[in-house]
Structure 1
Amino acid sequence: MYDPDKIIRLDPVRPDSYYIARAGNIIRNNGAVIFPTRCLYGIGARALDEKAVKNVFWIKQRPLNNPILVLIPDQSHLEKLVKSIPEPAKILMKIFWPGSLTLVFDAKNEIPNLLTAGSGKLGIRIPSHPVAKALVNHLGFPVTGTSANLSGRPGCHRIDLLDPSIIETSDLVLDAGILKGGAGSTIVDVTVFPIRMIREGEISQEELQKALVH
């Protein structure tokens, strides 16, 4: 059974900077923190540290051939992570970032294989939820943004729906109440032309097409 004291209730709009710093310290030291994104709760860890990412795979009981997306504070971090930013990606970022759109880029060679699952591609987004935003901005480096669920199970928009083992094996839980829910972020591969939707989430294919036409 997990320790209930590891669950911290936060204001979803104005999160307490003390708890953001506490969560950030855990992540800096290769720990894992459950935190809210716009639609679902996610697991945050140091994205470029292999040990930290391995821990996320272990928490989720996730196969190693399944890549993990990352959250970044702002677009300036892209140059350290990706080989190039195609024109369609620039348009979509301008319209939908921060927000529920994950773009898949060709990862730079130094990005850990574990993160890309050997695909050479990396999914990235800038979060819009105030807690997620505050956390990645506080840290100033890429953080894993995979959903806080056991592999193959649905994502959770409420803390009380999380599998107890996920809470038990994580170091801290930032509870911002009930989230929007749904399918999570839309995932689009921008390494190909035309771009390819991998998963339709909060942003529809129609919205993406409309954005690229204008």
Structure 2
Amino acid sequence: MRLLTVSPSTPDPALVAEAAHVLRAGGLVAFPTETVYGLGAHALDAAAVQRIFAAKGRPSFNPLIAHVPDAAGARALTTAWPDAAARLARAFWPGPLTLVLPKRAHVPDVLTAGLPAVAVRVPAHPVALALLRAAALPVAAPSANRFTELSPTTAQHVQKALGDRVDLILDGGAASVGIESTVVDLTGARPTLLRPGTLSVAALAEVLGDVPLPAPSPGREDAPRPAPGMVERHYAPRATVWLFDASARDAMAARLAREAVDARAGALLLSPWDARPAPALPLPMPDDPAAYAQRLYAALHQLDDAGCAVVLVERPPDTPAWQGVRDRIERASR
């Protein structure tokens, strides 16, 4: 595994070209996007895409997102481009939005978990866009971590999680958004929200003129998912996560005393902890949903690295703006 450090705003073309060469040769390249670091492979090379599944330990029923440099790149992978796709792309690309659309025949089934639709996104990070343009091919890129574990927001997180399973890492600094993209399915009669993110339902509705439907249950645990991030337990640290409401702080302190006597406990808190006992490593979190999302995975990595066996997480408000964050911490606690 090699690591190349690049400017997050003006990446060196020679270094980007080196990473692009690895992708064209069927290798794996981890690179920064504005959401999290992705583990990239040539999206139209089935063998290269299969290397992603092997490196992550990811089950074949979980599809991947194809990253492209612009809307034209997305249309080249899809058989339909409805008006809703055009409006969403104009409003939010480049950015943390993934669209699911009917796929063309040349898109390999391994990329889409055998489903007839492909997930596509135009990332907003200058390094990601430079890499996509230099490689001149769509890049499959789930989060660069082991399956169900914490997503990486820095190159160091990638190194810790994957090590020599990746051929090259482009270190472009910390991700600015911090959680994975919002995913909207446009294959049905009405748009469907498959995965919430920092792009809110309200923002989508302003463009669509309609509120996206919630995703239906995928059924069996091994049933193909229409989008990434839809398994029950996901985005999880090594530590056990306990969620609590601010009003239940005393009850959580009692549980901490009762069940975690010998465990090192951390906490992600929106308000000061005033109960006893207290977690050993309390981390204050921002009360703004975008700032919280940017900090979330880094904070959980920090507590994992400190050896915490338990992490207490105070639930943020149950409002649309917090939907993406609440989804991640709920799945981490299962």
Question: The TM-score by the shorter chain falls in which range?
Answer: over 0.9
Residue in structure 2 matching 1:135, options 131, 137, 143 = 131
Flag the 1:22–1:137 CA change in 2: closer, same or farther, 3 A: same
TM-score, normalised relative to structure 1:
0.93
User: What is the CA-CA distance between 1:163 and the residue it aligns to?
Assistant: 5.5
- In structure 1, give the amino acid aligned to 2:39: I
1:176 aligns with 2:176: no
1:42–1:148 contact (8 Å) kept in structure 2 = yes
2:101–2:185 contact (8 Å) kept in structure 1 = yes
SS in 1 for 2:114: coil
- Pick 1 or 2: higher relative contact order, CA cutoff 8 A, min separation 6: 1
User: What is the CA-CA distance between 1:109 and the residue it aligns to?
Assistant: 2.4
How far apart in 2 are the matches of 1:208 and 1:192? 16
* Unaligned segments of structure 1, at least 5 residues: none
Residue in structure 2 matching 1:211, options 207, 230, 234 = 207
How far apart in 1 are the matches of 2:74 and 2:176? 27
1:82 aligns with 2:73: no
User: What is the CA-CA distance between 1:167 and the residue it aligns to?
Assistant: 2.8
Residue in structure 2 matching 1:110, options 103, 106, 110 = 106
Q: Report the counterpart of residue 120 of structure 2 in structure 1.
A: 124
How far apart in 2 are the matches of 1:83 and 1:8? 37
Which structure 2 residues correspond to residues 1-214 of structure 1 after superposition, within 5 A?
Answer: 6-162=2-158, 164=160, 166-213=162-209
SS in 1 for 2:39: strand
2:30–2:158 contact (8 Å) kept in structure 1 = no
How far apart in 2 are the matches of 1:110 and 1:23? 24
Identity, % of aligned positions = 35
User: What is the CA-CA distance between 1:181 and the residue it aligns to?
Assistant: 4.5
User: What is the CA-CA distance between 1:166 and the residue it aligns to?
Assistant: 1.3
1:182–1:202 contact (8 Å) kept in structure 2 = no
Tell me which moved more, 164-173 or 80-89. 164-173
- In structure 2, give the amino acid aligned to 1:110: H
1:86–1:191 contact (8 Å) kept in structure 2 = no
RMSD of equivalent CA atoms:
1.5
- In structure 1, give the amino acid aligned to 2:186: V
* Unaligned segments of structure 2, at least 5 residues: 211-334
- In structure 2, give the amino acid aligned to 1:129: H
Q: Cα deviation per residue 1:74-106 (whole Å; 9 max; x = unaligned)?
A: 222234311101111111011001111000001
* Over 4 Å off, 4+ runs: none
User: What is the CA-CA distance between 1:184 and the residue it aligns to?
Assistant: 1.4
How far apart in 2 are the matches of 1:75 and 1:206? 23
- In structure 2, give the amino acid aligned to 1:114: V
How far apart in 2 are the matches of 1:103 and 1:116? 13
How far apart in 2 are the matches of 1:45 and 1:39? 18
